[in-house]
Chain A
């Protein structure tokens, strides 16, 4: 244990530098990769999942709530962007702001869900995401959202700019997690997660903490959804609200290890990487292996890959 305040401060600074360094390495790596590897869409998908896993990390890793319907914010962001661009003909960056706003509005509407716990919360959030999908995809709303017939945003199509914007969002998400890992606020969130009653007794505002985490998490997903809509420019509502986006993000997060910075990164690079290499050719066999991997993970390594180190007391950034 550090003896003096200055030792503690130095330790903190070292940690922050290390964490930020890792974040920077990932962002720069993904930026350089675009020049090297030409299947840009696949790289883009990597960035999407890297960011989403971190967004989910903010809410699950730090408050213990796992929203199975996380994709709802992603879809809200995608549609927020699309509606503003389609109807108001604004430039893409304004669309991104709209995406963030849409996700935050949805998060505020769904705040009451935080009263629920555990599985109830997970399923209710899944139902909420489905509900938003059903509303957006409804043919009666075709004039506004194009209903089930899909969105086409060819005016703002800009693969390079949207890729780098996504990279910026990833950087933001990573820095958010670094901040949470090394700040008092982040520690208070973990206290709430572990035992909310005791945390409240020691003066931490439980409701405030959870709300902030929830909003931040939704914001990340909303921005990612918006940049997804921008990059791909043609999509159907069931792509934007596809439950497998939540599921994949959750699995990547848990596989790597929640609450850490590296856990989700590892999870995405390993699992999504394998998926892209093998899964394309033999998807059914891959689906089976994926499912088996998840089962084994939960049974034997429920705290993720990083628990191999953290259970021995080694701090993983």
Chain B
């Protein structure tokens, strides 16, 4: 009896041992994500989430993602929760995904604010955080290997094409002064501070107005009057979608004219802004040219045109979600995940880290070149400066005008 039991025991151990040598492949790869379906960040979060879902569906339709350590395709299971734009809820949900759902890969919600609470939680639980679009510089420190920024450049370097352009072609056209009006939050506040630094460093264009207003500001009439009284050549308004809408409308109402006006979302969420502001208020406004308006040549994943087609098939026009830069970001995050799974040594989080960082400089997608700094900040994917130029009666084209190697047209500066 005893020897039989011993034999059975040894057999089981051997079986278990050989199974370990093979590493039993999981039935599915669990990816955890958060999204905000309501609140101030919903308009940048839902497109990211919907695009990521599109990627998941595509991959699963092909039998799953190629996962190197098991040498086979494994389907992806997406576990997603709604944080309703609340940081407190987001924190609890990040915790839930890590400690309860035991996700293999963790994707942050969109934007610096909703990503911020996830950073220390991911670090504490030693879970790698795929930061989609949270560009706050404070996230990326040398002592935290558990984060990398996927789809847009870190706020401290992102705006440099604006100051480069004004210092270069702007100065040649007689531009001397700039006014900067920004909303006081992590994302736009950091960009404003970075720009201030660039202008002061270059010393070619003088800052005559530099003011922060609450992110909830919804009327800019008096602010615009104040700026107009100082007569700057260039005006930069750095805020979220709601701020841009109010600013552009009030600017048009005021009748004030400036030679160069820049807002972040006129280009980045062009469709959304057009719906709320109208073509005439957006004509000749400068903005970033996001990847959703610029055809890069990828070495992996769909091109912009292909992605747009796939998007329209899954989310036909008329559904509540706008196609724009954020949709590209969501898909981009999926592509990074796909390449990571295909090249990683194991599902251990530090191996995931290594796999992600190994992609730096190698991965070219519809979002341009993926390049990471040592601390995880994205230093590639910098968006060119563009202008909304009229094309036909009721249409505006977002034309890249700077830097020269990416430009597709010339800037038109006002009088």
Contacts and interface: CB of A to CB of B under 8 A. Distances in A.
Contact of B91 (A232, A244, A276, A283): A232
A157 interface: yes
A284 B87 contact: no
Interface of B: 37-38, 81-82, 84, 86-88, 91-93, 95-96, 99-100, 113, 116-117, 119-121, 124, 138, 184-186, 189, 212, 214-215
Contact of A157 (B87, B120, B185): B120
A139 B113 CA distance: 16
A42 B215 contact: no
Mostly, the A contact residues are helix
B184 A148 contact: yes
Contact of A234 (B93, B117, B189): B117
Given A234-B120, A235-B87, A236-B116, A41 B92 contact: yes
B92 A39 contact: yes
Contacts of A40: 95, 99
Nearest first, the 4 A-B pairs at minimum CB distance are A41-B95, A38-B99, A139-B184, A139-B212
Contacts of B215: 148
Contacts of B185: 148-149
A291 interface: no
A281 interface: yes
B326 to A, nearest CB: 20
A287 to B, nearest CB: 8
A235 B82 contact: no
A280 B186 contact: no
Nearest to A41: B95
B82 A280 contact: yes
Contacts of A38: 99-100
A182 interface: no
Contact of A39 (B38, B88, B95, B184): B95
Interface in A203-235: 232-235
19 contacts: A39-B92, A41-B95, A41-B96, A41-B121, A42-B95, A139-B184, A149-B186, A149-B189, A152-B120, A157-B120, A157-B124, A159-B124, A232-B117, A233-B120, A236-B87, A239-B86, A280-B81, A283-B38, A284-B38
Chain A interface bracket (under 10, 10 to 19, 20 to 34, 35 or more): 20 to 34
Given A39-B100, A41-B121, 16 more contacts: A40-B95, A42-B96, A148-B185, A148-B189, A149-B138, A149-B185, A149-B186, A150-B116, A150-B186, A152-B138, A154-B120, A159-B124, A234-B117, A234-B120, A239-B86, A281-B81
Nearest to B121: A41
A147 interface: yes
Most interface-central of A159, A234, A281 (chain B CB within 10 A) = A234
A239 B38 contact: no
A10 interface: no
B88 A239 contact: yes
A39 B96 contact: yes
A281 B83 CA distance: 10
Given A280-B82, A280-B93, A284-B38, A234 B119 contact: yes
A276 B93 CA distance: 10
Contacts of A147: 184
Interface string A267-308: 000000000100011011000000000000000000000000
Contacts of B93: 280
A242 B86 contact: yes
Contacts of A236: 87, 113, 116
A42 B86 CA distance: 15
A280 B96 contact: yes
B39 to A, nearest CB: 10
A83 B379 CA distance: 33
A45 interface: yes
A314 to B, nearest CB: 36
B182 to A, nearest CB: 9
A234 B87 CA distance: 10
A91 B81 CA distance: 35
Contacts of A238: 87
A225 to B, nearest CB: 12
B88 A42 contact: no
Interface in A138-167: 139, 147-150, 152, 154, 157, 159
Contacts of A280: 81-82, 93, 96
B84 A283 contact: yes
B82 A283 contact: yes
A232 B87 CA distance: 11
A66 B124 CA distance: 38
A236 B82 CA distance: 19
B271 to A, nearest CB: 24
B42 to A, nearest CB: 11
A283 B119 CA distance: 24
Most buried by A among B88, B96, B120: B88
Contacts of B88: 45, 235, 239, 242
A258 B119 CA distance: 39
Contacts of A41: 91-92, 95-96, 121
Contacts of B214: 148
A48 to B, nearest CB: 10
B92 A45 contact: yes
A235 B81 contact: no
A25 B100 CA distance: 25
B189 A139 contact: yes
A280 B88 CA distance: 13
A236 B212 CA distance: 17
A239 B38 CA distance: 16
Contact of A235 (B37, B117, B124, B186): B117
Contacts of B91: 41, 232
Contacts of A154: 120
A195 B124 CA distance: 53
Interface string A113-150: 00000000000000000000000010100000001111
B390 to A, nearest CB: 37
B277 to A, nearest CB: 25
Given A150-B186, A280-B81, A239 B87 contact: yes
B115 to A, nearest CB: 10
A283 B80 CA distance: 13
